[in-house]
A and B are shown apart, each in its own frame.
Chain A
Amino acid sequence: MPVLDEIEAEIPALRRYARALLRDADAADDLVQDCLERAVARRRDWRGEGPLRAWLFRILLNRLRDLQRCAPRPGHLVPVDDLYPEPGQPAAQEDHMALSEVRAAMARLPEDQRRALLLVALEGFSFDEAALALEIPKGTLMSRLARARETLREMTGRTAKTKGIQR
């Protein structure tokens, strides 16, 4: 598949990841747009070493670092539930609770852990891919994942069991 097509195919995933990180739909799309412009301008730099999406997400994360260096975002102040309307179909009240709880818990995770966990759990990255995208050794990735999952478990674990997020 031509590189531009491959880049285009990743746009939905980039938007999902950016919005989960930034919790601001417009800012997320701005970030994706900047990422795409950079990727498109430098597409000949990518020589097929590793998966293209790891390269794309790496650009996105670098861009995000630039932005946050400039102006750290008080992310926890954003009303996250405005961004993700609950599904219209009759959802059990418990599920509703669990979803906002999961978003709130994610918002409280340290940034590094959130980035790692979302890559693997939401985007389905392999450990190698995620380590590549985050520019960290695999061991560091694994410990971030373990910590993220454990913290999340402490914050929502009881809820997951008693209120029953179904698997």
Chain B
Amino acid sequence: MNDEELLAYHAGALDAAACARVEARLAGDPEARARLADWAAQDAALAQAFGDPASEPVPERLRAVIGEARNSPAPPPAWTFGLSRIAAAVALLALGATGGWLAHGPTTPQPGTSLAQAATTAYRTYVTEVVHPVEVPASDAAHLTSWVSKRLGHPIHAPDFATLGFRLMGGRVLPGEPGTAAQFMYENDLGQRITLYVTQRAQGEDDTAFRFFDQGRESGFWWVDGPFGYALVGDISRDALRKIATAAYEQLI
């Protein structure tokens, strides 16, 4: 008797007729009967060995994710994201940027590490600036958007974190790895600054969800989505960073 049939029988996935056929053959197949018995024992042992967490109370931090979502509208569905991706590909072709993109090696080892590193270096370089923290101020938002979009080869705008207490100061274009990067800088009422670093995506890099990184005093989250890699950097709590990164992610898809 083949495994597939027996597995289906064991899972109760067969209709009555097929079930009867299997049972008729089982009668003369002690080996298959022993296997079935062992499988049932496995199921019971697995439930006993790993079942506990399901009956434990759900930790508050997990409930909070749902709770927060109830109070905020769902972001737009993915089809806009899909279109923007196609637009990105078209834009890159139009800009002739693809050649430069493909010129890089097949994969950079640990792309996220270099992304987090580059973003942190840029953060350290510019947040300490008193006179010129940004090259284009937020007051010139339209220019900032068109400049950065043009240099990165795809439309991008600085996300808005006003509800989280951070207002946009402005941004600049930086050398990225690979290609070109941009940095948006924000500040809150306490004078704390955070930056969102956006870079052209490395070839062969997959989409990722948030990953936390810690570079000493600065920490942040990085992720890869659509045409870009992103890294949010700051010297604030991980939770605060996560909220801002989530807001960025939701506004940028």
Contacts and interface: CB of A to CB of B under 8 A. Distances in A.
Contacts of A118: 46, 50
Interface of A is mostly: helix
Contacts of A120: 11
B246 A37 contact: yes
B140 interface: no
A89 B250 CA distance: 48
B7 A12 contact: no
Interface residues of A, number: 60
- Among B8, B68, B208, B250, the most chain A Cβ lie within 10 Å of the Cβ of B208
Interface in A7-50: 7-8, 11-13, 15-16, 19-20, 25, 28-29, 32-34, 36-38, 40-45, 47
- Among B8, B69, B206, the most chain A Cβ lie within 10 Å of the Cβ of B69
B4 interface: yes
A89 to B, nearest CB: 12
Interface string A47-70: 100000000000000110011011
A36 B63 CA distance: 9
A115 to B, nearest CB: 13
B152 to A, nearest CB: 23
Given A11-B58, A70-B110, A98 B45 contact: yes
A153 B38 contact: yes
Contacts of A62: 209
A37 B221 CA distance: 14
- Among B65, B70, B206, B208, the most chain A Cβ lie within 10 Å of the Cβ of B65
Contact of B7 (A98, A122, A146): A146
Contact of B112 (A70, A157, A166): A70
Nearest to A87: B48
Interface string A125-155: 0110000000000000011011001001100
Given A4-B70, A38-B209, A167 B44 contact: yes
A165 B51 contact: no
B78 A45 contact: yes
B41 A146 contact: no
Contact of B55 (A4, A12, A25, A166): A12
Contact of A11 (B4, B62, B76, B253): B62
Given A36-B62, A41-B249, A19 B50 contact: yes
Contacts of B76: 44
A4 B52 CA distance: 24
A79 to B, nearest CB: 14
B3 interface: yes
A121 interface: yes
A33 B74 CA distance: 17
A51 to B, nearest CB: 15
A103 B47 CA distance: 11
Contact of B61 (A33, A42, A69, A167): A33
9 shortest interchain CB distances as A-B pairs: A146-B3, A20-B50, A40-B69, A44-B77, A12-B54, A16-B54, A102-B45, A36-B65, A45-B78
Given A34-B210, A44-B74, 13 more contacts: A4-B70, A8-B63, A15-B62, A36-B66, A37-B210, A40-B68, A41-B246, A42-B78, A84-B49, A126-B11, A149-B38, A149-B39, A165-B44
